[in-house]
Structure 1
Amino acid sequence: MEIKTIKASDTWQIRHEVMWPDQPFEFVQLEEDDSGFHFGVFEDNKLVSIVSCFIEGEEMQFRKLATIEEYQGKGIASYLLKHILEFAKNEKIEKVWCNARSNKKSFYEKIGLIDTHKTFTKAGQEFTIMEIKFLK
């Protein structure tokens, strides 16, 4: 398992396949993709898990954490999430947050994120905002 920096366009296929297969392909292409940091996990040179990170001031939002179905349940997304939390610490980020699908909340809690109980719905999916703060 190897984590590499990737291009935004490298994330789109997995985003679409895993997160929004019923939406048009363009739905997974974010306006801010060009300003983000994108990371991928490779197994035998195959991209199997992705995440995109966006820094604004002393906060970082991660979006579109997704792992190809046949690779799910093997700790790959947890490994990737731990990597970006270390990345955030190295960048002197004070808070990392995400819009987590409500049914995936426990996954993020295991990594140390806390539910803010701020919820919303997008394209029929319910989300809750989760965050982790680092001490200065």
Structure 2
Amino acid sequence: MILSDQQIEFIEKNLKLYGVNSKDLREDLLDHICTYIEANDSSDFDFLYQEALQKFGGYASFQNLQLETNYQKFAKEIITINKVKFSFGFLVILFLVTGLVFQMMQWPYANAWLLCAILVSVLIILPIHFYAKYKKSIHKFS
């Protein structure tokens, strides 16, 4: 069976209606459903569409796929945030050690190095940390 544009739009609207909001996931599911329908010789679109839905687990499994996709995107974002925090934390330690060495050797600019460490901690690491906590708290409720 060859699908018409209206039938493809119908399938895509149904996927969106039943909670598949991610465009990439929706396109993948649409492709799988259309391929399944076109592989059959029957000309009854409604029957083949229902059969395809049952084969792929129905709308409930599509919603679970959407939730899993959202969770994976969230996990990648948190990993990226943690890498940025780690990098700036390393920079803070570098500034602190440099500042302390300058302080012990009584070289100039020791206080500037220590001040840089404090500024990076307060202006970069803390906001990133609180942003990550905020994102985690929002993700718990959604």
Q: Name the TM-score, length of structure 2 as normaliser.
A: 0.24
- Bigger radius of gyration among the two: 2
Bigger helix fraction: 2
